[in-house]
Amino acid sequence: MPNSIAGKGATEADELALLARVRRGDREAFCELYQRYQPRLYGYLRRQLSDPGTVEEVLDDVMLVVWKDARKFRGDAAVSSWIFGIAYRKAMTAMRTERRYQAPLDRSANADAVAAVSSQHDEWIPVALMHLSPDHRQVVELTYFSGFSYQEIAEIVGCPVNTVKTRMFHARRRLRVLLPALAGQAKEQDRERA
Amino acid sequence: MNAPETVSHEQAAGLLPWLVNDSLVDKEKETVLEHAQSCVICRRDLDDLEQLRDSIMSASSLKLIPAADMRNVNARIDALIDRQNRGPLLIARLREAFESPWRIAFVAQSVLLVVLAGLLLWPRPRDAEYTTLTQSQYLPPGIYVRVVFSPELTQFELIELLGSLELTIVDGPSNRGVYTLGVAKRMSVEDRDKLIMDLQEDPKVLFAQPVNRGATQ
Ligand SMILES: [Zn+2]
């Protein structure tokens, strides 16, 4: 999602005004903020969490924190970074809970299962991302799915900018190995079936 | 970041992922592009990253996003506002009650009666508050929270509050009404402090304090 910096300025002013109204208990402003963020947050959370019901629950949790904590927003970060920071923390907690209730992900078995479905490169991305550590995956997701700058990601995740760059470096290195491996596996299975 | 006029290969390579998502500021963008023109490795990386971005974006467009449904969050906000409003309402009623001298006399008499009845009927605590602390020594390692709820809290509200914060009752209430609550997940110190703040902000929570049992994290 490419961002125009000028467009971002206008959106930021808009969202600051909305948040100021939310701080005063304005439900209409909250509704507008919710409508604005719901698609982005849903997309972001859906890629971290496997259960759609959990995604909706966590999304509501995030927006409830926005309602409750609007007065705590100091403007040190952009409104979107602040909201995604809340979503990031909620997502990490929900991911830990999900992992506890699920059988541990058998990475090779999982790759086999998806490899059997399709050998399209684009369809490998979600599978490959699942093979990254949560920290590395978050940086890739926030960059390419959500369109955040590295400074914004540092604010969201709560780490130094250099850590964001390092995580991206490691994520890319792993993806470079994973994507051809996954695609190659699929091709081999296609050939066997033919 | 204040981008220098020229950047090293390492600096430029580190910024390429954000050149591709178009989130670099103009000056950074300029210097990174300038470097890429004369660096074969960065140009190849740029091609790879553009492919990665396109793949990710086309994969994300496959996902269906349901229409926004605010019923649940609205109900939770209503409950929150309702809880917050009950405090000032009580104050308003008291203020109203103190408007006439007869009312003052009536209220004073009622308060006296309630206090006397309370003194007579209040069960003597068999143990002091440290009972819970002693019992908590037998708890497995983890993060626990000691909480005293307002007597106004209904059972339904208690269940809702515990559910929303992912807490479970592991001990209590003690004679002084102290509950020991278990945290249903591994938690960092920051998360625990945030939880305590959330609890302390709740008008139906009179007291909230963390109890650490053994190693956590
Ligand atoms: Zn270079």
Three-state SS for B8-44 is CHHHHHHHHHHHHCCCCCHHHHHHHHHHHHCCHHHHH
A32: left (phi over 0), alpha (psi -120 to 50) or beta: alpha
d(CA B94, CA B45): 71
- Taking only residues 109 to 138 of chain A, the set having a beta carbon closer than 8 angstroms to any beta carbon of chain B reads 121-126
Instruction: Say what angle helices B71-97 and A27-48 make with each other, to 10 degrees.
Output: 140
CB-based contact, A96 to chain B, within 8 Å: yes
Of A71-80, A126-135, B203-212, least confident by mean pLDDT is: B203-212
**Mean per-residue pLDDT for B91-97?**
67
Q: Any CB–CB contact under 8 A between B53 and chain A?
A: yes
Q: How many CB atoms lie within 10 A of CB A12?
A: 14
Cis peptide before A160 (omega within 30 of 0): no
Going along chain A from its start, the domains and CATH numbers come out as: 1-103 (1.10.1740.10), 117-194 (1.10.10.10)
| Angle, in degrees to the nearest 10, between helices B9-20 and A161-193 | 70
**ipTM surpasses 0.85:** no
Radius of gyration of chain B (CA): 30
How high is the pLDDT of residue B3?
Answer: 44
Q: Please list every residue in chain B whose beta carbon sits closer than 8 Å to the beta carbon of residue A123.
A: 59
Q: Which residues of B180-209 are buried (b: 16+ CB within 10 A; e: fewer)?
A: bbbbbeebeeebbeebbebbeebebbeebe
Question: Tens digit of pLDDT for each residue in B157-175?
Answer: 777 677 777 788 888 777 6
Residues of A in contact with B11 (CB under 8 A): none
Residue A149: closest CA among chain B residues belongs to which residue?
A: B23
Average pLDDT over residues B109-115: 76
Q: Per the CB < 8 Å rule, is A169 touching B14?
A: yes
Over residues A185-192, the mean pLDDT reads 70
Secondary structure class of B5 (helix, strand, coil): coil
Q: How far off is chain B from A159, nearest CA to CA, in Å?
A: 14
Q: Ligand 1: distance of its center to the CA of B37 in Å?
A: 9
Which residues 132-171 in chain A show a CB within 8 A of chain B?
Answer: 140, 143-145, 147-152, 161, 165, 168-169
pLDDT in tens, B52-85: 888 888 776 656 788 889 999 999 999 988 888 8
Higher per-residue pLDDT: A122 or A54:
A54
Please say whether the beta carbons of B28 and A9 come within 8 A.
no
Confidence of residue B138 (pLDDT cuts 50, 70, 90): low
Q: What is the pLDDT of residue B121?
A: 73
Listed residue (A167, A121, A161) closest to A140, CA to CA: A167
Q: What is the distance between the alpha carbons of residues B68 and B56, in angstroms, rounded to a whole number?
A: 24
CATH 1.10.287 fits B144-210, yes or no: no
CA end-to-end distance (rounded Å), chain A = 38
Closest CA to B22 of A146, A123, A12: A146
What does the pLDDT look like over A44-94, one tens digit per residue? 998 888 888 999 999 999 999 999 999 999 888 899 999 999 999 999 999
Q: Residue holding tokens 């700058």?
A: A149
Alpha carbons B78 and B81: distance in angstroms, whole number = 5
pTM reported for the whole predicted model = 0.62
Half-sphere exposure of A41 (CA within 13 A, CB side): 31
Q: Count of CB contacts below 8 A, A vs B? A: 110
Distance (Å, whole) CA A85 – CA A151:
12
Least confident of A111-125, A171-185, B40-54, B203-217: A111-125
A23: Cβ contacts below 8 Å, ≥ 6 apart = A70, A71, A73
What is the mean pLDDT of the segment spanning B97-124? 70
- The order of strands in the sheet holding B205-213 is B167-171, B178-183, B142-149, B205-213
**Mean pLDDT of the A121-133 span:** 81
- On the question of pLDDT at B134 being above 50, the answer is no
Query: Where are any strands of DSSP class E within chain B?
Result: 142-149, 167-171, 178-183, 205-213
